[in-house]
Amino acid sequence: MLHSNLSINEKGHLCLAGRDVCELAERYGTPLFLMDEERIRRNARTYIDAMAEFMPEGSRPLLASKSCCFKRLYEIVAEEGMGTDLVSPGELYTAAAAGFPLENAFFHGNNKTDADIEYAISSGVGYFIVDNREELDAINETAREKGIVQKILLRLSPGIDPHTQKKISTGKVDSKFGTAIETGQAVELCRYALTLEAVALKGFHCHIGSQIFEYSSFADAAEIMLRFIRELYDDCGFETEMLNLGGGFGVRYVESDPEIDYRENIKGLAGVIDRLCGRLSVKKPSILMEPGRSIVADSGVTVYSVGSVKTITGYKSYVSVDGGMPDNPRYALYESDYTCLVANKADEEADFVATVAGRCCESGDLIQEDVALARPERGDYLAVLVTGAYNYSMASNYNRIPRPPVVMVNEGKDYVAVKRETFEDLLRNDI
Ligand SMILES: *Cc1c(COP(=O)(O)O)cnc(C)c1O
């Protein structure tokens, strides 16, 4: 199937990590987020091992928290040796609650408030990834008051369009993120950062976008960043210790997406970085990457119960499920591709073309349009594959629908990592 942790058993049921998805849905109810713990660990190790083997000393991956964020996930990736990047105090709070070593946490965001900065410094966050000058001043001020020196990276925009979807491309000059190299503002910001007493500049960050299937765009970004690092050295003698190339390696959501070998891509990118450092006479910085999707996406399967199956004569068919945009807003947001199948009929011919719709009062509440399914009936289980990233983390309570639980499967066992929300949870803050 799409990924090696997916299979079909003798009953014709879809399995995740060898576990019958329908049995789990029976036990835990639907909608249900399932995640394969071993797959998360394997993905983490792929990055950790390849970066340790091919890249300069100190190179390592950081989990992009926005892709998926709950306590148990931080425990898992910390055990494997990943750091993390966070974009909000809420993510930081979750990591801290999980006992995540915050010296390995990098705090992102294009608009950190004074309260965010205060909170992150008090929590002992390892690094700030500074987006702009006002933020730099605010961090310097708070760190000075607290009598510490805060380590920082500066987020720069390298001016690259990685040919991915517009809404998930972020490294262009015209972007709300970072400070542009092309306009000269990046050099100015560095010179200024170096005059501040309570911040210690360690290096630079860039992030060019998401769903990138081969390393050439990263190599282009690395070249721009390393040229900048060289120029900065000539300008003021600053030696860069860390270069963070962001996240964005792609994931296979549908059969037509390529399979991607992360190890080979990291090796290829490492070779380019090595040669560039040689050619530019730049002292090799340690490399950081911020994979999100490629760590968690293929660990996840969402299971729904099928409700109504409606064929509009002369038009098309709709299969409605008991979840939708509250647990997976990505089709509504980006028209993202997903693979859908009837989990209890996984071995049957998929000859019924339908649009899979959610239960909300929105015509845009769709999971996927015009997909071929085994003939679905009320009470069947419908599985959406590769939902480990940007599903739970983007979930909302729209229409007052409680969020589904996250159940982990691991080595023949299963456990609840995040409980299903209750109606009481929905009222928790209502006065
Ligand atoms: C979104 C994002 C990531 C993660 O991207 P993936 O496509 O999930 O790997 C990493 N770093 C930054 C700064 C991001 O904005």
* Shortest-distance atom of ligand 1 to CA 211: 7
* CA 38 / ligand 1 centre spacing (Å): 22
| Regions of the chain where pLDDT drops below 70 | 161-171
Active-site annotation holds for 190 = no
- pTM > 0.75: yes
Per the CB < 8 A criterion, the answer to whether 165 and 114 are in contact is no
Q: How far is CA 178 from CA 14, 113, 157, 171, 244, in A?
A: 43, 16, 5, 8, 13
What is the enclosing helix (H) or strand (E) of 316?
A: none
Which of 22, 69, 360, 361 is catalytic? The answer is: 361
Mutate to test the pocket of ligand 1, among 73, 207, 392 (most ligand atoms within 8 A of CB): 207
* CA 168 / ligand 1 centre spacing (Å): 9
* Shortest-distance atom of ligand 1 to CA 210: 7
What are the φ and ψ backbone dihedral angles of 425, each rounded to 5 degrees? -60, -35
* CA 24 / ligand 1 centre spacing (Å): 31
Mutate to test the pocket of ligand 1, among 40, 47, 65, 66 (most ligand atoms within 8 A of CB): 66
What is the C-alpha to C-alpha distance for residues 268 and 403, in angstroms, rounded to an integer? 40
* Shortest-distance atom of ligand 1 to CA 251: 7
Pocket of ligand 1 (CB under 6 A): 64, 66-67, 85, 108, 207, 210, 246-248, 290-294, 389
What is the C-alpha to C-alpha distance for residues 110 and 223, in angstroms, rounded to an integer? 24
Domains and CATH numbers, the chain: 6-36+297-426 (2.40.37.10), 108-291 (3.20.20.10)
* CA 212 / ligand 1 centre spacing (Å): 11
What is the C-alpha to C-alpha distance for residues 207 and 177, in angstroms, rounded to an integer? 9
- Extract long-range pairs of 139-147: CB within 8 Å, 24+ residues apart: 139/198, 139/199, 140/196, 140/197, 140/198, 140/199, 141/198, 142/114, 142/117, 142/118, 143/198, 143/199, 144/197, 144/198, 146/121, 146/122
* Shortest-distance atom of ligand 1 to CA 66: 1
Per the CB < 8 A criterion, the answer to whether 189 and 179 are in contact is yes
- The tens digit of pLDDT for each residue in 309-348 reads 999 999 999 999 999 999 999 999 999 999 999 999 999 9
Q: In which residue are the tokens 């000058």 written?
A: 133
Q: What pLDDT does 273 receive?
A: 98
* CA 249 / ligand 1 centre spacing (Å): 9
* Shortest-distance atom of ligand 1 to CA 155: 13
381-385 and 340-342 beta bridge pairing:
antiparallel
Mutate to test the pocket of ligand 1, among 106, 210, 260 (most ligand atoms within 8 A of CB): 210
Q: What pLDDT does 166 receive?
A: 55
Q: How far is CA 68 from CA 12, 29, 59, 95, 406, in A?
A: 30, 21, 22, 12, 11
Q: Across the chain, what does the average pLDDT equal?
A: 96
Per the CB < 8 A criterion, the answer to whether 29 and 36 are in contact is no
Phi-psi region of 17 (alpha: psi -120 to 50; beta: other; left: phi over 0): left
